[in-house]
Amino acid sequence: MPSVSRARRVLSLSIGLPVALTLLAACAPSNPESSTSQASVDPVAGGTLVYASGDAEPTCLDPHVGGNYPQALVASQYLETLFTKDAEGKIVPWLAESTELSDDGLHRTITLREGITFHDGTKLTAEAIKANIEHLQDPNTASSTGYLAVGKIEKVTVTDELTAELTLASKDNALLESLSMPWTAIESPEALKRPKAVNCTSPVGTGPFKVESWQTQQAVNLVRNENYQPPVAQPERSQPTAYLEGISWRFIPEAATRYAALQSGEVDIIDNAQPDTIATAATSGAFGHLDAPRPGAANRLELNSSKAPFDDQLVREAFIRSLDVNSGINALLFNTAQRSYSLLSSVEPLGISEPDLFTPDVQKANALLDEAGWTERDAEGYRVKDGKRLSLTFPVSTNQSVPAEQSLFEQMQASAKEVGVEVKIQLLDLSSWYGALAEHEYNLVSAPYTKVGPSVLRILYHSDSTVPAPSGYFANNAQLKNPKLDELLTRAEETNDEAERAELYAQAQRLVLEGYYVLPLYDQQNHFLYGKHVHQVGDTTAVSSPVYYNTFLAK
């Protein structure tokens, strides 16, 4: 993966005491302007940035509802969070000014900054913390990511205009990480009183842009918030508001069409850039490139252990050993991704890597399948046991898996056939894919999950997560129900000892990896290409979604 350089914006934030901190801004250019060369171009106010997304258009612009990454990408422009991540990866206040935790770890006090207003003109007060937590926890909101993130909050008590106390059902050392994500962003309490359908079309936040209109299947139109005051003073800025007059957030699902629009100048920036176009951009220098790996889980295949044939560890290991993943990654992804052997993203420092568990070994795969009783073969060469073919259902989201990744899955399909395993790939749109998961109609699945911090492991592998959130989404796709793992993950979230936390998470990861419930692939790919007239791209949220507050156009 290309080296990562960081363009930094100096902030003054505090958790108890003032410290100098920087908002995370990871920029990995193919041949973009460095922060130095960008500094030589004076910012220009005005113009509309045209953004083209390859993701499925959200069904709701409020990231509290559901809670997927396409929502986070657009919502990061108009909503802000209580906390964020600095350039060193530490969680620091944003809309919040400070926070304190009680000695028993069950009461967290959050104090907000003064002088912040929502787009509707109402003041940001502690009532907003209460209203937003309750909105996330309300089953009628149908939240998934946000709902799971604030699941341990039992009650919110407003103690004064700017201060709220969160009472927890159990200790949660990941709470600030959870409150740094767009899926728990703070919205206007007055706006939340509107019908859900209305709020979905025009969420009201405190961010540098606001939603002007949403032309479904065309574009979300964002305009500059003329009253924006950054939560933290930024003396280096010539104006407190965004440089851009607005953003036209368009949806172009076809990769070649999206790239052609960038080449022609019809759009200024695209996401879901394909590996071959990234490589071309690197060679030609025609476009800037932002590589922003997402936190949380690595991209991976999860094996459904709740039903045959993957309820047998021998079959799980045999399937994984039959696959030569590295050759496919090298051939199809053009060095835009590095192979992972970890459950966690490379940006998560507590991730452990176990490459020896995933060494391809066809001879061993065949021996394991024989041991598991799959000794006979049918006319097509697939293994059979008790008259039933060894067949796997693999639903793939065409919105979340780029064509190169789909080709990688097809290579895996061919490799598995060599040892007698049939893999049935089902290419589905996002809605149908979610439906297949909800009905457990899969044997293996690639299901990205982004969350700040290693606590994502609890969401993905604790037995509690086999029960769906109010949205109907459940995160434990491997369907793991292991009391020892549950205990490790629970203790890891409750301890205040960092060394103990790291060790508990390491033990939990080894249990999952050594049980062959998961095949790690690579970081969740998060690539953006942009025209050379687009300057100061690189500021990101805690979940690596870009923020275009500092961006300007200079053609």
Q: Examine the domain organization and report whether 309 and 438 are in the same domain.
A: yes
Q: Examine the domain organization and report whether 255 and 375 are in the same domain.
A: no
Q: Examine the domain organization and report whether 338 and 235 are in the same domain.
A: no
Q: What is the CATH number of the domain that holds 353?
A: 3.10.105.10
Q: What is the CATH number of the domain that holds 198?
A: 3.40.190.10
| Dist CA 2 CA 27 (whole Å) | 10
CA torsion, ordered 350, 171, 543, 180, to nearest 10 deg: -140
What local confidence, expressed as pLDDT, does residue 38 receive?
45
Q: Examine the domain organization and report whether 268 and 314 are in the same domain.
A: no
| Dist CA 488 CA 513 (whole Å) | 14
Q: Examine the domain organization and report whether 44 and 180 are in the same domain.
A: yes
348-390 pLDDT, tens digit per residue, is 999 999 999 999 999 999 999 999 999 999 999 999 999 999 9
Rg of the chain over CA atoms, in angstroms? Answer: 23
Q: Helix %, strand %, coil % for the chain, to 5?
A: 30, 25, 45
* Band of residue 32 on the pLDDT scale cut at 50, 70, 90: very low
78-89 pLDDT, tens digit per residue, is 999 999 999 899
Cis, peptide link before residue 309, omega less than 30° from 0: yes
157-210 pLDDT, tens digit per residue, is 999 999 999 999 999 999 999 999 999 999 999 999 999 999 999 999 999 999
Q: Which residue has the tokens 């907003």?
A: 128
What local confidence, expressed as pLDDT, does residue 331 receive?
93
36-59 pLDDT, tens digit per residue, is 334 478 999 999 999 999 998 999
382-416 pLDDT, tens digit per residue, is 999 999 999 999 999 998 898 999 999 999 999 99
225-269 pLDDT, tens digit per residue, is 999 999 988 888 989 999 999 999 999 999 999 999 999 999 999
Q: Examine the domain organization and report whether 80 and 176 are in the same domain.
A: yes
Most confident of 14-23, 24-33, 147-156: 147-156
Segment 97-124 mean pLDDT: 98
CA angle 108, 455, 450 (to 5 degrees): 110
Q: Examine the domain organization and report whether 382 and 517 are in the same domain.
A: yes
Instruction: Assign 338 to helix, strand or coil.
Output: coil
Q: Do 359 and 307 form a contact (C-beta atoms < 8 A)?
A: no
Give me the numbers of helices (H) and strands (E) for the chain, helices first please.
17, 27
How many CB atoms are located within 10 Å of the residue 379 CB? 5
CA torsion, ordered 175, 176, 180, 185, to nearest 10 deg: 60
What local confidence, expressed as pLDDT, does residue 474 receive?
82
Q: Examine the domain organization and report whether 204 and 312 are in the same domain.
A: no
- Bigger pLDDT: 51 vs 441: 51
pLDDT at 439 over 60: yes
| Dist CA 227 CA 209 (whole Å) | 10
Q: Examine the domain organization and report whether 172 and 195 are in the same domain.
A: yes
Q: How many domains does the chain have?
A: 2
472-487 pLDDT, tens digit per residue, is 878 999 999 999 999 9
pLDDT at 431 over 70: yes
| Residues of the chain above pLDDT 70, percent | 93
| Dist CA 162 CA 99 (whole Å) | 12
Segment 133-139 mean pLDDT: 98
What mean pLDDT, rounded, does the chain reach?
A: 91
What is the strand order of the sheet 107-112 is part of?
96-101, 107-112, 163-168, 153-160
Q: Which helix (H) or strand (E) holds 526?
A: none
Q: Examine the domain organization and report whether 402 and 421 are in the same domain.
A: yes
What local confidence, expressed as pLDDT, does residue 34 receive?
35
**Nearest by Cα to 523 from 300, 279, 273, 335:** 300
Paired strand residues for 134: none
Q: Examine the domain organization and report whether 454 and 539 are in the same domain.
A: no
* Band of residue 35 on the pLDDT scale cut at 50, 70, 90: very low
Q: Examine the domain organization and report whether 513 and 543 are in the same domain.
A: no
Q: State how beta strands 48-53 and 246-251 pair.
A: parallel
What is the strand order of the sheet 444-445 is part of?
444-445, 299-303, 518-522
Please name the residues in contact with 355: beta carbons below 8 A apart, sequence gap of 6 or more: 341
Of the candidate ranges 15-29, 43-57, 79-93, 114-128, the one whose mean pLDDT is the lowest:
15-29
| Dist CA 302 CA 465 (whole Å) | 14
Segment 99-108 mean pLDDT: 98
What local confidence, expressed as pLDDT, does residue 468 receive?
85
What local confidence, expressed as pLDDT, does residue 223 receive?
98
* Residue numbers of the domain that contains 197: 5-292+526-553
DSSP-assigned letters across all residues of 37-92? HHHTSPP----EEEEEE-SPPPS-S-TTSB--HHHHHHHTTT-B-SEEEBTTS-EE
